[in-house]
Amino acid sequence: MTKTASPSPSSPPLVAGLLLAAGGGRRLGGRPKALLPYRGRPLVEHAVRVLREGGCAVVHVVLGASAELVRERAELPGCVVVENPEWEGGMGSSLRVGLASLAADPGGVDAALVSLVDQPGIGAAAVARVRGAYGGRDALAAASYGGRRGHPVLFGADRWAGIAAGAEGDRGAREYLAAHRDAIALVECGDVAEPFDVDTEADLYRLEG
């Protein structure tokens, strides 16, 4: 396989946003998380906007549950939208689909900044901080909250094959990151973001207002 050439010295690296939005909301009564209402619009639109405002001009979105309905109801102009037919198998399959989509991007992506659709407390400031930790195509970086690793995470393109190889079930990149913990640049974001998940009915209040 031919590797994408690195940008010329005059070209900035391309750090693309990768939004994982395939979840079916099993503990939310089967409501796709991408379509949860947030400020009058589907949550997936907010998540895409956060990535763009954080500096990711290119955004790939992985859909799964009710993908056609999400395409109909959500406005995602300019995004590369791909579907994960195996979304019920967990986040790992969505990560693999997303990284494959980025690898095929004709723009030549140098790193993926991965975020989750169900974390609306993580805004553009955290995205920008983690994006700023890019140091090359072998980069590994992650937001940190009081010293605890969280999202978003940044994977240099040279890491994608190894990450995809271990991305199974709901583990995502967890095992890869654990095996390479010494290479991860932790970026403290606890002062600008809240890393909560919207997983259950009890969490829906976080989407109000």
How many helices and strands in the chain, by DSSP H and E?
6, 9
Q: Is 51 exposed, middle or buried (0-12, 13-18, 19+ CB in 10 A)?
A: buried
Residue 144 · residue 190 · CB < 8 Å: yes
Identify the weakest region by mean pLDDT among 1-5, 159-163, 176-180: 1-5
- Decide which of 6 and 120 is more confident: 120
pLDDT at 172: 84
The predicted model scores a pTM of 0.93
pLDDT at residue 6 is higher than 70: no
pLDDT in tens, 76-96: 999 999 999 999 999 999 999
- 3-state SS class at 67: helix
